[in-house]
Protein backbone atom coordinates (compact mmCIF):
# COMPACT_ATOMS: atom_id res chain seq x y z
CA UNK A 1 0.00 0.00 0.00
CA UNK A 2 2.95 2.21 0.81
CA UNK A 3 4.22 1.59 -2.70
CA UNK A 4 0.96 2.89 -4.10
CA UNK A 5 1.05 5.97 -1.90
CA UNK A 6 4.50 6.75 -3.28
CA UNK A 7 3.18 6.19 -6.79
CA UNK A 8 0.25 8.52 -6.27
CA UNK A 9 2.48 11.23 -4.87
CA UNK A 10 4.93 10.80 -7.74
CA UNK A 11 2.12 11.03 -10.24
CA UNK A 12 0.81 14.23 -8.71
CA UNK A 13 4.28 15.85 -8.64
CA UNK A 14 5.03 14.67 -12.12
CA UNK A 15 1.82 16.03 -13.60
CA UNK A 16 2.53 19.38 -12.02
CA UNK A 17 5.99 19.60 -13.50
CA UNK A 18 4.73 18.17 -16.77
CA UNK A 19 2.27 21.00 -17.18
CA UNK A 20 5.07 23.50 -16.89
CA UNK A 21 7.54 22.06 -19.30
CA UNK A 22 5.61 21.44 -22.49
CA UNK A 23 7.84 20.51 -25.36
CA UNK A 24 10.02 17.74 -23.98
CA UNK A 25 8.84 14.18 -23.68
CA UNK A 26 10.66 11.12 -22.45
CA UNK A 27 9.59 7.59 -23.40
CA UNK A 28 11.38 4.66 -21.82
CA UNK A 29 11.63 1.36 -23.70
CA UNK A 30 12.89 -1.90 -22.28
CA UNK A 31 14.07 -4.43 -24.78
CA UNK A 32 13.32 -8.13 -24.28
CA UNK A 33 15.94 -10.67 -23.33
CA UNK A 34 17.42 -11.97 -26.53
CA UNK A 35 17.46 -15.55 -27.69
CA UNK A 36 19.74 -17.61 -25.52
CA UNK A 37 19.26 -15.30 -22.55
CA UNK A 38 16.44 -17.32 -20.99
CA UNK A 39 16.34 -17.42 -17.24
CA UNK A 40 18.42 -14.30 -16.80
CA UNK A 41 17.58 -12.13 -13.86
CA UNK A 42 15.96 -8.78 -14.60
CA UNK A 43 16.29 -5.34 -13.02
CA UNK A 44 12.78 -4.39 -14.08
CA UNK A 45 10.43 -4.73 -11.15
CA UNK A 46 7.39 -2.70 -12.07
CA UNK A 47 5.91 -1.09 -15.16
CA UNK A 48 2.93 1.13 -14.42
CA UNK A 49 0.14 2.15 -16.76
CA UNK A 50 1.02 5.76 -16.44
CA UNK A 51 4.71 5.78 -17.26
CA UNK A 52 6.01 4.51 -13.93
CA UNK A 53 9.04 2.29 -13.88
CA UNK A 54 10.37 0.48 -10.84
CA UNK A 55 13.81 -1.08 -10.93
CA UNK A 56 15.57 -3.29 -8.42
CA UNK A 57 19.20 -3.97 -7.74
CA UNK A 58 19.15 -7.61 -6.68
CA UNK A 59 22.66 -7.47 -5.31
CA UNK A 60 21.57 -4.97 -2.67
CA UNK A 61 19.32 -5.50 0.31
CA UNK A 62 16.63 -3.28 1.77
CA UNK A 63 14.70 -0.36 0.48
CA UNK A 64 17.69 1.31 -1.17
CA UNK A 65 17.70 -1.48 -3.70
CA UNK A 66 14.39 -0.29 -5.19
CA UNK A 67 13.95 2.85 -7.24
CA UNK A 68 10.97 4.34 -8.92
CA UNK A 69 10.89 6.59 -12.01
CA UNK A 70 8.19 8.35 -13.95
CA UNK A 71 8.21 9.09 -17.66
CA UNK A 72 5.64 10.09 -20.24
CA UNK A 73 5.46 6.44 -21.31
CA UNK A 74 7.16 3.19 -20.48
CA UNK A 75 7.18 0.34 -23.00
CA UNK A 76 7.83 -3.14 -21.70
CA UNK A 77 9.64 -5.88 -23.63
CA UNK A 78 6.45 -6.97 -25.40
CA UNK A 79 5.70 -3.57 -26.95
CA UNK A 80 5.61 -3.70 -30.73
CA UNK A 81 7.15 -1.26 -33.18
CA UNK A 82 3.63 -0.27 -34.26
CA UNK A 83 2.60 0.50 -30.68
CA UNK A 84 5.65 2.63 -30.11
CA UNK A 85 5.08 4.50 -33.35
CA UNK A 86 1.43 5.18 -32.65
CA UNK A 87 2.46 7.33 -29.69
CA UNK A 88 5.11 9.07 -31.78
CA UNK A 89 2.94 9.70 -34.82
CA UNK A 90 1.32 13.00 -33.71
CA UNK A 91 4.77 14.48 -33.21
CA UNK A 92 5.91 13.23 -36.61
CA UNK A 93 2.81 14.63 -38.30
CA UNK A 94 3.29 18.05 -36.74
CA UNK A 95 6.26 18.45 -39.11
CA UNK A 96 3.73 18.90 -41.94
CA UNK A 97 2.24 21.81 -40.01
CA UNK A 98 5.62 23.51 -39.86
CA UNK A 99 7.07 22.28 -36.57
CA UNK A 100 10.66 21.26 -35.93
CA UNK A 101 10.90 17.96 -34.12
CA UNK A 102 13.88 16.04 -32.73
CA UNK A 103 13.59 12.40 -31.73
CA UNK A 104 16.56 10.83 -29.95
CA UNK A 105 17.39 7.31 -28.85
CA UNK A 106 19.65 7.19 -25.81
CA UNK A 107 21.09 4.18 -24.01
CA UNK A 108 24.01 1.83 -23.68
CA UNK A 109 25.15 -0.19 -26.69
CA UNK A 110 22.82 -3.15 -27.20
CA UNK A 111 19.84 -1.55 -25.44
CA UNK A 112 17.74 -1.25 -28.63
CA UNK A 113 18.41 2.28 -29.92
CA UNK A 114 18.78 1.18 -33.54
CA UNK A 115 15.89 -1.24 -33.15
CA UNK A 116 13.61 1.62 -32.10
CA UNK A 117 14.85 4.17 -34.62
CA UNK A 118 15.43 1.97 -37.67
CA UNK A 119 14.39 -1.60 -36.87
CA UNK A 120 16.31 -4.82 -37.37
CA UNK A 121 15.31 -5.45 -40.94
CA UNK A 122 14.19 -2.93 -43.54
CA UNK A 123 12.61 -5.72 -45.59
CA UNK A 124 10.10 -6.49 -42.87
CA UNK A 125 7.48 -3.75 -42.56
CA UNK A 126 6.25 -5.14 -39.24
CA UNK A 127 9.67 -4.52 -37.79
CA UNK A 128 10.21 -1.05 -39.22
CA UNK A 129 11.42 1.44 -36.67
CA UNK A 130 10.44 5.07 -36.25
CA UNK A 131 12.32 6.46 -39.25
CA UNK A 132 10.76 4.24 -41.94
CA UNK A 133 7.35 4.55 -40.34
CA UNK A 134 7.68 8.32 -40.07
CA UNK A 135 8.60 8.70 -43.72
CA UNK A 136 5.90 6.42 -45.00
CA UNK A 137 3.34 8.13 -42.76
CA UNK A 138 4.41 11.55 -44.04
CA UNK A 139 3.99 10.41 -47.65
CA UNK A 140 0.52 9.12 -46.85
CA UNK A 141 -0.54 12.39 -45.25
CA UNK A 142 0.88 14.50 -48.07
CA UNK A 143 -1.14 12.38 -50.49
CA UNK A 144 -4.32 12.79 -48.49
CA UNK A 145 -3.85 16.58 -48.37
CA UNK A 146 -2.92 16.99 -51.98
CA UNK A 147 -6.08 18.82 -53.03
CA UNK A 148 -5.24 21.67 -50.67
CA UNK A 149 -1.50 21.41 -49.97
CA UNK A 150 1.54 20.66 -52.05
CA UNK A 151 4.51 19.23 -50.19
CA UNK A 152 8.10 18.51 -51.07
CA UNK A 153 10.16 16.19 -48.89
CA UNK A 154 13.94 16.10 -48.69
CA UNK A 155 16.25 13.86 -46.65
CA UNK A 156 19.76 14.34 -45.24
CA UNK A 157 21.90 11.85 -43.34
CA UNK A 158 24.99 12.68 -41.33
CA UNK A 159 27.12 10.98 -38.76
CA UNK A 160 29.06 12.65 -35.96
CA UNK A 161 32.19 10.81 -34.95
CA UNK A 162 34.88 12.30 -32.71
CA UNK A 163 33.25 15.72 -33.06
CA UNK A 164 33.52 15.56 -36.83
CA UNK A 165 30.45 15.66 -39.01
CA UNK A 166 30.32 13.35 -42.00
CA UNK A 167 27.85 13.72 -44.84
CA UNK A 168 26.52 10.22 -45.54
CA UNK A 169 24.79 11.16 -48.78
CA UNK A 170 27.73 12.94 -50.35
CA UNK A 171 28.57 11.74 -53.83
CA UNK A 172 32.23 12.09 -52.92
CA UNK A 173 32.77 10.12 -49.72
CA UNK A 174 36.46 11.00 -49.63
CA UNK A 175 35.51 14.59 -48.95
CA UNK A 176 32.52 13.88 -46.79
CA UNK A 177 34.27 14.77 -43.51
CA UNK A 178 33.72 18.26 -42.22
CA UNK A 179 35.94 18.75 -39.21
CA UNK A 180 34.73 22.32 -38.82
CA UNK A 181 31.60 23.98 -39.80
CA UNK A 182 29.34 21.50 -41.50
CA UNK A 183 25.92 22.05 -40.12
CA UNK A 184 23.08 19.84 -41.23
CA UNK A 185 21.88 22.62 -43.54
CA UNK A 186 25.08 22.19 -45.60
CA UNK A 187 24.86 18.43 -45.94
CA UNK A 188 23.65 16.83 -49.17
CA UNK A 189 19.88 16.88 -49.39
CA UNK A 190 18.10 14.41 -51.62
CA UNK A 191 14.48 14.79 -52.63
CA UNK A 192 12.27 11.79 -51.94
CA UNK A 193 8.94 11.09 -53.54
CA UNK A 194 8.09 7.61 -52.36
CA UNK A 195 8.89 5.01 -49.76
CA UNK A 196 11.06 3.18 -52.25
CA UNK A 197 13.19 6.33 -52.74
CA UNK A 198 13.60 6.33 -48.97
CA UNK A 199 14.64 2.68 -48.84
CA UNK A 200 17.27 3.30 -51.45
CA UNK A 201 18.62 6.36 -49.74
CA UNK A 202 18.74 4.76 -46.28
CA UNK A 203 20.65 1.92 -47.81
CA UNK A 204 23.24 4.30 -49.29
CA UNK A 205 23.57 6.09 -45.96
CA UNK A 206 24.04 2.82 -44.06
CA UNK A 207 26.70 1.66 -46.50
CA UNK A 208 28.54 4.96 -46.33
CA UNK A 209 28.48 4.77 -42.58
CA UNK A 210 30.77 1.80 -42.69
CA UNK A 211 33.29 3.31 -45.12
CA UNK A 212 36.65 3.31 -43.43
CA UNK A 213 35.36 1.58 -40.35
CA UNK A 214 37.20 -1.53 -39.30
CA UNK A 215 34.23 -3.11 -37.64
CA UNK A 216 30.90 -1.62 -38.60
CA UNK A 217 29.02 -2.44 -35.41
CA UNK A 218 31.77 -1.19 -33.23
CA UNK A 219 32.01 2.05 -35.10
CA UNK A 220 28.29 2.72 -35.34
CA UNK A 221 27.92 2.40 -31.60
CA UNK A 222 30.49 5.14 -31.16
CA UNK A 223 29.02 7.70 -33.53
CA UNK A 224 25.77 9.63 -33.55
CA UNK A 225 23.69 9.19 -36.66
CA UNK A 226 21.17 11.81 -37.72
CA UNK A 227 18.51 11.35 -40.39
CA UNK A 228 16.81 14.65 -41.14
CA UNK A 229 13.53 14.92 -43.01
CA UNK A 230 12.52 18.34 -44.32
CA UNK A 231 9.03 19.15 -45.48
CA UNK A 232 8.07 22.24 -47.44
CA UNK A 233 4.40 22.84 -47.85
CA UNK A 234 2.45 25.32 -49.93
CA UNK A 235 -1.19 26.07 -49.32
CA UNK A 236 -2.71 25.88 -52.78
CA UNK A 237 -5.51 28.31 -51.97
CA UNK A 238 -3.62 31.09 -50.21
CA UNK A 239 -0.12 30.46 -51.53
CA UNK A 240 1.21 30.56 -47.96
CA UNK A 241 4.19 28.32 -47.34
CA UNK A 242 5.55 26.51 -44.34
CA UNK A 243 8.56 24.47 -43.50
CA UNK A 244 9.07 21.77 -40.89
CA UNK A 245 11.83 19.33 -40.07
CA UNK A 246 12.23 16.05 -38.26
CA UNK A 247 15.60 14.93 -36.90
CA UNK A 248 15.87 11.25 -36.05
CA UNK A 249 18.94 10.71 -33.93
CA UNK A 250 20.48 7.36 -33.01
CA UNK A 251 23.00 8.40 -30.36
CA UNK A 252 26.34 6.78 -29.63
CA UNK A 253 26.30 4.20 -26.83
CA UNK A 254 26.17 5.90 -23.44
CA UNK A 255 28.16 3.23 -21.56
CA UNK A 256 30.90 4.45 -19.28
CA UNK A 257 34.26 3.37 -20.49
CA UNK A 258 36.69 2.41 -17.78
CA UNK A 259 39.58 4.82 -18.17
CA UNK A 260 42.01 2.35 -16.76
CA UNK A 261 41.20 -0.11 -19.52
CA UNK A 262 41.34 1.94 -22.66
CA UNK A 263 43.98 4.10 -24.25
CA UNK A 264 44.65 5.93 -27.48
CA UNK A 265 41.89 6.06 -30.07
CA UNK A 266 39.36 4.24 -27.92
CA UNK A 267 39.87 6.69 -25.07
CA UNK A 268 39.54 9.65 -27.40
CA UNK A 269 36.27 8.27 -28.76
CA UNK A 270 34.96 7.70 -25.25
CA UNK A 271 35.82 11.25 -24.25
CA UNK A 272 34.07 12.69 -27.30
CA UNK A 273 30.96 10.62 -26.66
CA UNK A 274 30.89 11.61 -23.02
CA UNK A 275 31.29 15.23 -23.86
CA UNK A 276 28.57 15.29 -26.49
CA UNK A 277 26.04 13.29 -24.48
CA UNK A 278 26.50 15.47 -21.46
CA UNK A 279 26.26 18.58 -23.65
CA UNK A 280 22.99 17.21 -25.02
CA UNK A 281 21.75 16.56 -21.49
CA UNK A 282 22.69 20.12 -20.48
CA UNK A 283 20.85 21.62 -23.45
CA UNK A 284 17.67 19.66 -22.89
CA UNK A 285 17.82 20.31 -19.17
CA UNK A 286 18.21 24.06 -19.80
CA UNK A 287 15.26 23.95 -22.19
CA UNK A 288 13.11 22.01 -19.72
CA UNK A 289 13.95 24.59 -17.06
CA UNK A 290 13.20 27.39 -19.51
CA UNK A 291 16.62 28.73 -18.68
CA UNK A 292 17.71 31.95 -20.40
CA UNK A 293 21.08 30.45 -21.38
CA UNK A 294 21.07 27.24 -23.41
CA UNK A 295 24.64 25.92 -23.90
CA UNK A 296 24.43 24.78 -27.53
CA UNK A 297 28.08 25.52 -28.34
CA UNK A 298 29.57 22.77 -26.18
CA UNK A 299 29.38 19.95 -28.71
CA UNK A 300 29.02 19.35 -32.42
CA UNK A 301 25.80 17.41 -31.83
CA UNK A 302 24.05 20.29 -30.08
CA UNK A 303 25.42 22.81 -32.60
CA UNK A 304 24.16 20.81 -35.54
CA UNK A 305 20.71 20.48 -33.96
CA UNK A 306 20.56 23.96 -32.45
CA UNK A 307 17.85 25.38 -34.69
CA UNK A 308 15.64 22.37 -33.96
CA UNK A 309 16.04 22.29 -30.20
CA UNK A 310 14.20 24.90 -28.19
CA UNK A 311 11.79 27.61 -29.23
CA UNK A 312 8.68 26.03 -30.68
CA UNK A 313 10.56 22.82 -31.44
CA UNK A 314 9.45 19.55 -29.88
CA UNK A 315 11.78 16.96 -28.45
CA UNK A 316 11.23 13.30 -27.73
CA UNK A 317 13.84 11.14 -26.05
CA UNK A 318 13.61 7.36 -26.21
CA UNK A 319 15.47 6.04 -23.24
CA UNK A 320 16.48 2.48 -23.99
CA UNK A 321 17.17 -0.15 -21.34
CA UNK A 322 18.70 -3.60 -21.32
CA UNK A 323 16.75 -5.58 -18.67
CA UNK A 324 19.67 -7.77 -17.61
CA UNK A 325 20.84 -7.43 -13.98
CA UNK A 326 24.38 -7.36 -15.29
CA UNK A 327 23.49 -4.03 -16.85
CA UNK A 328 22.22 -2.60 -13.57
CA UNK A 329 24.78 0.15 -13.22
CA UNK A 330 24.37 1.28 -16.84
CA UNK A 331 20.61 1.14 -16.43
CA UNK A 332 20.84 3.28 -13.31
CA UNK A 333 23.00 5.87 -15.04
CA UNK A 334 20.79 5.90 -18.14
CA UNK A 335 17.78 6.54 -15.91
CA UNK A 336 19.63 9.27 -14.10
CA UNK A 337 20.26 11.01 -17.41
CA UNK A 338 16.63 10.55 -18.42
CA UNK A 339 15.38 11.91 -15.15
CA UNK A 340 17.54 14.98 -15.56
CA UNK A 341 16.48 15.75 -19.13
CA UNK A 342 12.84 15.29 -18.25
CA UNK A 343 13.38 18.05 -15.71
CA UNK A 344 11.83 15.98 -12.98
CA UNK A 345 13.78 14.72 -10.03
CA UNK A 346 11.76 11.91 -8.55
CA UNK A 347 14.49 9.40 -7.94
CA UNK A 348 14.58 10.14 -4.24
CA UNK A 349 11.14 8.63 -3.81
CA UNK A 350 11.76 4.98 -3.15
CA UNK A 351 9.38 2.15 -2.97
CA UNK A 352 9.22 0.39 0.35
CA UNK A 353 7.51 -2.70 -0.92
P1 LIG B 1 21.79 -0.43 -29.87
O2 LIG B 1 21.42 0.30 -31.11
O3 LIG B 1 21.32 0.28 -28.62
O4 LIG B 1 23.23 -0.81 -29.77
P5 LIG B 1 20.27 -2.61 -31.02
O6 LIG B 1 19.11 -1.86 -31.53
O7 LIG B 1 21.29 -3.01 -32.00
O8 LIG B 1 20.97 -1.81 -29.82
O9 LIG B 1 19.71 -3.86 -30.22
C10 LIG B 1 20.54 -4.90 -29.74
C11 LIG B 1 19.91 -6.24 -30.09
O12 LIG B 1 18.65 -6.36 -29.44
C13 LIG B 1 19.62 -6.39 -31.55
O14 LIG B 1 19.83 -7.74 -31.89
C15 LIG B 1 18.15 -6.03 -31.68
O16 LIG B 1 17.53 -6.62 -32.81
C17 LIG B 1 17.59 -6.57 -30.37
N18 LIG B 1 16.44 -5.78 -29.90
C19 LIG B 1 16.49 -4.53 -29.42
N20 LIG B 1 15.27 -4.10 -29.06
C21 LIG B 1 14.41 -5.09 -29.34
C22 LIG B 1 12.98 -5.27 -29.19
N23 LIG B 1 12.22 -4.29 -28.69
N24 LIG B 1 12.46 -6.45 -29.59
C25 LIG B 1 13.25 -7.43 -30.08
N26 LIG B 1 14.57 -7.34 -30.23
C27 LIG B 1 15.16 -6.19 -29.88
Q: What is the CATH number of the domain that holds 139?
A: 3.40.850.10
Q: Ligand 1: distance of its center to the CA of 34 in Å?
A: 8
Which CA distances in Å does 274 have to 251, 264, 285, 299?
11, 16, 16, 10
Q: Ligand 1: distance of its center to the CA of 339 in Å?
A: 22
Q: What is the pLDDT of residue 184?
A: 61
- Report the atom number in ligand 1 closest to the C-alpha of 77: 23
- Report the atom number in ligand 1 closest to the C-alpha of 107: 3
Q: What is the pLDDT of residue 207?
A: 83
Q: Is residue 287 part of a domain?
A: yes
Residue nearest ligand 1's atom 18 by CA:
112
Binding residues: 107-114
Residue 137 has φ and ψ, to the nearest 5°, of: -65, -40
- Report the atom number in ligand 1 closest to the C-alpha of 117: 6
Q: Is residue 294 part of a domain?
A: yes
Are the CB atoms for 252 and 274 separated by under 8 Å?
Answer: no
Residues 6+ apart with CB under 8 A from 201: 155, 157, 169, 190, 192
Q: Is residue 297 part of a domain?
A: yes
**Pocket lining for ligand 1, CB < 6 angstroms:** 31-32, 34, 107, 109-115, 120, 221, 320
Q: Which of 33, 79, 116, 120 to mutate to test the pocket of ligand 1 (most atoms within 8 A of CB)?
A: 120
| Ramachandran class of 108: left when φ > 0, alpha when ψ lies in -120 to 50, beta otherwise | beta
Q: Predicted ipTM?
A: 0.99
List b or e across 218-233, with b for residues whose CB sees 16 or more CB atoms inside 10 angstroms: ebbbbbbbbbbbbbeb
Tally of structural domains, the chain: 1
Q: How many CB atoms lie within 10 A of CB 108?
A: 21
| Cα separation, 304 vs 185, whole angstroms | 9
Q: Is residue 45 part of a domain?
A: yes
- Report the atom number in ligand 1 closest to the C-alpha of 81: 23
Q: Which of 112, 126, 318, 321 to mutate to test the pocket of ligand 1 (most atoms within 8 A of CB)?
A: 112
Domain containing residue 53: 2-341
Q: Ligand 1: distance of its center to the CA of 269 in Å?
A: 22
- Report the atom number in ligand 1 closest to the C-alpha of 320: 3
Q: Is residue 70 part of a domain?
A: yes
Q: What is the pLDDT of residue 185?
A: 61
Strand 241-250, strand 100-106: pairing: parallel
Q: In Å, how far from its chain's centre is CA 154?
A: 21
Residue nearest ligand 1's atom 20 by CA:
112
Q: Ligand 1: distance of its center to the CA of 79 in Å?
A: 13
Q: Is residue 98 part of a domain?
A: yes
Q: Ligand 1: distance of its center to the CA of 151 in Å?
A: 34
| Cα separation, 48 vs 51, whole angstroms | 6
| Bridge partners for 24 per DSSP | 315
- Report the atom number in ligand 1 closest to the C-alpha of 75: 23
Binding residues for ATP: 107-114
Estimate the crossing angle of helix 130-144 against helix 195-209, to 10 degrees. Answer: 150
Q: Ligand 1: distance of its center to the CA of 23 in Å?
A: 27
Q: Is residue 172 part of a domain?
A: yes
What are the mean pLDDT values of the chain's consecutive 10-residue runs (353 residues total)? 69 55 85 83 91 89 83 95 95 93 96 96 94 94 93 93 89 61 70 89 84 56 92 94 95 84 82 94 89 92 90 93 93 94 52 36
Q: Is residue 24 part of a domain?
A: yes
Amino acid sequence: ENYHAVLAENRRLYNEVQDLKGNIRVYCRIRPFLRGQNGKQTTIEYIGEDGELGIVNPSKQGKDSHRLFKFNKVYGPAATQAEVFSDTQPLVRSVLDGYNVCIFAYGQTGSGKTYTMTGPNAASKEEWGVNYRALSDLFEITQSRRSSFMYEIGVQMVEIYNEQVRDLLSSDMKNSFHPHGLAVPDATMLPVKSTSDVMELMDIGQKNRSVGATAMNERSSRSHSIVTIHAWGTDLKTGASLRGSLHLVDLAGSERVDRSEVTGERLREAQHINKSLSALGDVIFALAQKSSHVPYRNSKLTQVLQSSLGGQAKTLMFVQLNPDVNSFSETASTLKFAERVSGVELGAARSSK
